[in-house]
Structure 1
């Protein structure tokens, strides 16, 4: 294994300014008989840390602090963790997961900052857990990274003290931080405490108070009015309950966004890039203060990515900082990137990080003198953003990401800087907004849905790039150089028998091999397989399922009429039913009046479909109901049936054959549903009120069945008849029908309007295109 000379940042005339405690034997021997307690073992670094200790230190026992998750206990979560592929050999050797846990893994249920009592035989406590998001809400960042560290150190002291509170043993506390606690500095960053005068207790109190303050602001009348109006603009047609649910969703999102913004601004006002690094830096100060009676080591990894060798090349859990950028480029979704081409992206493989942490655990630092280690590559094996771009471009040139890229050539990045990219994004954002505004007036159809999908794709791309500019903008221009002399000295002190397995010298591998052969395939291949599986699943559909016979009366299938089962609308059906009984002169006059009222009708429908239906049915005033029913039976039935979708008819019959109760829920007047009486078990329609002579009054005998009325009717019907709505189906085409679709376990959006299409995609509902029905033949009026 190559061992290039140390960087010059931490040396004077070739002599190191500080020599950390070195290893004095093999790691397995140094840790033999020790109890290592860990946090964060369900996370990326923590999982491999547990695997490494169990695999390479056979005489070491572990304790793991894991929080219960819902109904899943901490023990069950650890058992699931140990069933993963990398633990297979360990489980086989022990005989079972249960035996491995009994022999070597003590589960300690708990969470941060509410840390439980620690085992009194704890020798080393490795704190891997922490909020790793760069933009958590400010209170969450402080609870986890500051209060969590304080609680752990307090519990560690209790575990190592007698009943009088006097220390009986000196444990080793290993704190996993981040290299970016250096903040917005430039130049060389030494492996030492960062000098600042920030009062972490005052900042923590302020962060927690901010959460209460923002929560209170979100409940003011002014803020709720803004959020309610936004929800109404999107969901008014679906009903008040849907709107209120969306208002509350928006309120919670607003609270989170405000707390994220508060954290970012507070961090930057004090010299840090974001609240994550700010809270981590204050966490280090907590460690230095409360760990003054312990042996303390602080490990600062940079950007941790997939493993180079262990447990196997390319091992990774989830997406890390650089991975979404790599994938987006391969898919053809990043035409440009605002990084500085010669800025260093400080990547380090996960197994190098874990190896270094285990080695640190085996050292014996001086009590009260914390040791600091940078796990980075930039000092002695730098990789620039331009270098990453060239590597990624080369990889996707040789291995095209065909599912997203197609025949589109890979983008050529010129690295113009942030300002030109931000201007381009601003223009594109305006274009998407204008496009969506125009779409709101476009006629419904497959082409309109195609345009909407393209706009949604552009919006997603803009949001993605915007997020990265916001989160990682300063990292893309970074001029930090992390000194890693202590880390290199520790690596060089490895026993000869440990050098290959536990090495962590960041200069001993090539970026060409790591990126081309290990990392990029590790993140792209699983995504390709996942996308292929998703395509197969979508081809089968998720909620548009093959129907299997069920016990009759236990499952229902509800269908909307207009635009779903039948190609028509309320205005058109009114003209069908009303005009034939009028004289030619009155027909012409009625057509003219309806045409003149259409803008008002359309406006009413956009605001409230119930109001629209009532307005439309006013025009039936004076019509003879019996004559209307006779006209439907004698003349309209074949024409109505001719407008039905063949796919709808087929699906309804499949439901009936499966023993499902078929229901038609429509705002159409009852007479016009007479042709469907042999197809549906139950029909719920608008009932026209009549006077003593059987003439329509222009009013309904009850509220129209629209929006939330449909979901309420389904819930009541299901309760009365023992129907399982979770196994039931619903089919509709309009956003106003969202409550009905949401009420069942198998909702299907049929040739939907744009708002429903977008909701269906968000919810993972099936979207089906039922062919256009045959055009209505000319109706003879006499």
Structure 2
């Protein structure tokens, strides 16, 4: 092998991918006289060269890197870097001998435009640049290059039976299909912007975020629009592929890519390698080497965690797994061949032909591994491993549909239940279940047909190539898939390899605890003025204080009324309460204005005096001691403490000593000092709070990224999003879910309601 590839320049794409990385490692360690020329795209501000240097610092390259004196030295001595991308391929070196195309979209369900851009357009562009590189000014070829194309065995699509190592017969025009597939992007984008579609998406966003404000709703509407576009492009690709006989757009565009290769490469040497399901290495660079999760890993891990109750596979269908190093060895052996010009040679890299593994065998080996080596359980102990009966795809689909329906109904119920610690626990359990169901839906949809395929990939060409290896090359370059047994591979090599990082992460998570880090230790912030330029913003109702605006209104209003008037006032409040709650769900500002209209006629000065002399104890009784402790920690750290509330200002007077700034609703008065029932300005709710924070920060030299905010309601999402250290305090379900998605701290602050909820301050 060394002699056959000695002195050759091999242009390699996809080197930052799973297979490409090991190909580069193999070339650097076993092919000392071969020059890899790597086509790498820059990423952000990182150049292609710097990306390769970073790649060479990985563990797999340790030995060869240290022998060269470092990553930079290794690159200078052995590697060429070509900065470019697919399909924008730059000029390739004129001395190239082999172009090894490993890059490609390996997701089974990419958007249709992305699949075509990578697998057909990119392939054509690469081959055209290769031909240009070996063509002189007179249009004559300076050499005949060897183009090696890495495809997939599943380009066979929905065929059954034996699949030969040959071109698949079909009459689909790759160019026409590519043009129409790419045109779908503009079509779907246009559909997403119609009034009907935008209205639907906006209403969905409003149901979730209406209270938080228009900008929050608008941002979520646009997020939903983009997701809708991606989802429709994925659906379009899947349906187009299945309408023509392929399982998904990945295998469909890969098949068209093969046809492009045959067309463009009609007068050069062409080889096409079709790996099956590529998993961790059997031997090189070490047993179990793998980068990222491939096809089988998510399913194996989900089973080990008890999250995969069944799988819609035929128990006797072959799951055609092949170790990565065997694929790499086969590819490099193909690179060393010299196929006849104009006659592509196909190679299947798989195990099913001579060392078949059925789904039932895979299940048995994986189950046996996890029974012996279970994931460490948390509070609920180790997960129970499901027992698969392989009931068929229809039964699994019915089970999944029923579970999804039950979860949807439960989610509606949780949204209507009053907020409590129990409600949050129920919502968390429901979210966990919904996440697991979404995982099952996605993967069962993707792998359903693979689990029931009846394909048999013939590998005669590959076996013959293996048998042609020089005896000295067998140890380093063997790729006979009959040379290993599945029990050893799965239980001693593959499963330990893919579960190890998960186990390490879970151990680290247990050591650190589950709480994210936005609830910071403030003890060091006050040292040497470290707290300057930092604020801590607190919501009032439900955060600092266990009360609400209706309750505080009744505290202020009822003591001045006689028994009959009190009964009449409470009755009127009860009658209006359903409407107010409905208004609050739509717009909290409207709700507050409705309540504050009832202050009409009140003497503001008398109200303030009543708060100071009679209500203050009742208010302070309901201040959470955890909140007071945290406020004092911020003040000790030198932070500016701000109370942001929609409560009327008189009711915040007992809390003023705790805060540097109090922003509250101001009641408008007439010339006699009596409340008109209106406010002097809009109440401070939703996006008004984040706007106030940004303005205050700009005016007072505050660093919002270093600042803190505490709130309990989804309506406060904009305020929390405005700072670098947001904390959800005993949150409602909406905020709890948002905090979980954003990795914010969630804390439970104890209430301190020593008085009965309906006790009233006595007027003195």
2:598 maps to: 619
How far residue 108 of structure 1 moved from its aligned partner, in angstroms, is 1.1
| 1:351 maps onto 2:325 in alignment | yes
Q: Deviations along 1:243-283, whole A, 9 cap, x unmatched? A: 00011001101111111111111111111111000000000
2:762 maps to: 781
Cα distance between partner residues in 2 of 1:657 and 1:92: 52
Cα distance between partner residues in 2 of 1:148 and 1:587: 78
How far residue 729 of structure 1 moved from its aligned partner, in angstroms, is 0.9
How far residue 540 of structure 1 moved from its aligned partner, in angstroms, is 5.4
Runs of 4+ that moved beyond 6 A: none
2:501 to 523, 526, 533: 526
With structure 1 as the length reference, what TM-score do the two structures score? Answer: 0.95
Change in Cα spacing, 1:551 to 1:82, as seen in structure 2 (3 Å) is: same
2:471 maps to: 496
Q: Deviations along 1:561-598, whole A, 9 cap, x unmatched? A: 11111111111111112212222221221111111111
Cα distance between partner residues in 2 of 1:277 and 1:403: 38
1:565 maps to: 544
Give matches, 1:277-316, under 5 Å.
Answer: 277-316=251-290
Cα distance between partner residues in 2 of 1:520 and 1:197: 42
Comparing both chains, which one has the higher relative contact order based on Cα–Cα distances under 8 Å and sequence gaps of 6 or more? 1
Q: Deviations along 1:56-81, whole A, 9 cap, x unmatched? A: 11111111111111111111111111
1:765 maps to: 744
1:94 maps to: 68
| 1:583 maps onto 2:562 in alignment | yes
Cα distance between partner residues in 2 of 1:684 and 1:758: 27
| 1:391 maps onto 2:387 in alignment | no
DSSP-derived class of the 1:403 partner: coil
| 1:145 maps onto 2:124 in alignment | no
| 1:401 maps onto 2:375 in alignment | yes
1:11 maps to: none
DSSP-derived class of the 1:364 partner: coil
- Alpha carbons 2:546, 2:624 under 8 Å: kept: yes
1:703 maps to: 682
Compute the RMSD of aligned alpha carbons. 1.2
Cα distance between partner residues in 1 of 2:45 and 2:556: 58
Structure 2 unaligned spans of 5+: none
Cα distance between partner residues in 1 of 2:449 and 2:752: 56
| 1:637 maps onto 2:616 in alignment | yes
Give matches, 1:602-751, under 5 Å.
Answer: 602-751=581-730
1:360 to 334, 343, 347: 334
2:456 maps to: 481
- Alpha carbons 1:748, 1:765 under 8 Å: kept: yes
Q: Deviations along 1:458-501, whole A, 9 cap, x unmatched? A: 11111111111211111010100000011111111111111011
Cα distance between partner residues in 2 of 1:646 and 1:388: 56
Cα distance between partner residues in 2 of 1:183 and 1:341: 20
1:12 maps to: none
How far residue 538 of structure 1 moved from its aligned partner, in angstroms, is 4.5
| 1:322 maps onto 2:289 in alignment | no
Cα distance between partner residues in 2 of 1:465 and 1:617: 50
1:442 to 412, 417, 428: 417
- Alpha carbons 2:313, 2:390 under 8 Å: kept: yes
How far residue 408 of structure 1 moved from its aligned partner, in angstroms, is 4.6
2:202 maps to: 228
1:597 to 576, 587, 590: 576
Q: Deviations along 1:262-309, whole A, 9 cap, x unmatched? A: 111111111111100000000000101111122111000000011111
- The farther-off stretch of 635-644 and 513-522 is 635-644
Give matches, 1:47-446, under 5 Å.
Answer: 47-403=21-377, 406-446=381-421
How far residue 779 of structure 1 moved from its aligned partner, in angstroms, is 2.8
How far residue 774 of structure 1 moved from its aligned partner, in angstroms, is 2.8
- Alpha carbons 1:331, 1:402 under 8 Å: kept: no
Q: Deviations along 1:430-469, whole A, 9 cap, x unmatched? A: 1111111111111101100111111111111111111112
- Alpha carbons 1:579, 1:781 under 8 Å: kept: no
Q: Deviations along 1:179-218, whole A, 9 cap, x unmatched? A: 0000100000000111111000000100111111111111
DSSP-derived class of the 1:659 partner: coil
Change in Cα spacing, 1:208 to 1:104, as seen in structure 2 (3 Å) is: same
Q: Deviations along 1:133-160, whole A, 9 cap, x unmatched? A: 0001111100000000000000001111
| 1:546 maps onto 2:525 in alignment | no
- Alpha carbons 2:516, 2:743 under 8 Å: kept: no
- The farther-off stretch of 144-153 and 57-66 is 57-66
2:10 maps to: 36
How far residue 164 of structure 1 moved from its aligned partner, in angstroms, is 2.2
How far residue 403 of structure 1 moved from its aligned partner, in angstroms, is 3.1
With structure 2 as the length reference, what TM-score do the two structures score? Answer: 0.97
- The farther-off stretch of 767-776 and 284-293 is 767-776
How far residue 622 of structure 1 moved from its aligned partner, in angstroms, is 1.1
Cα distance between partner residues in 1 of 2:36 and 2:559: 85
| 1:464 maps onto 2:439 in alignment | yes
1:514 maps to: 489
DSSP-derived class of the 1:121 partner: coil
- Alpha carbons 2:120, 2:178 under 8 Å: kept: yes
Cα distance between partner residues in 1 of 2:745 and 2:377: 21
Cα distance between partner residues in 2 of 1:48 and 1:684: 60
DSSP-derived class of the 2:590 partner: helix
- Alpha carbons 2:350, 2:459 under 8 Å: kept: yes
Cα distance between partner residues in 2 of 1:409 and 1:565: 42
Cα distance between partner residues in 2 of 1:537 and 1:68: 36
Change in Cα spacing, 1:606 to 1:165, as seen in structure 2 (3 Å) is: same
How far residue 671 of structure 1 moved from its aligned partner, in angstroms, is 0.8
DSSP-derived class of the 2:509 partner: helix
2:733 maps to: 754
- Alpha carbons 1:126, 1:175 under 8 Å: kept: yes
- Alpha carbons 1:134, 1:276 under 8 Å: kept: yes
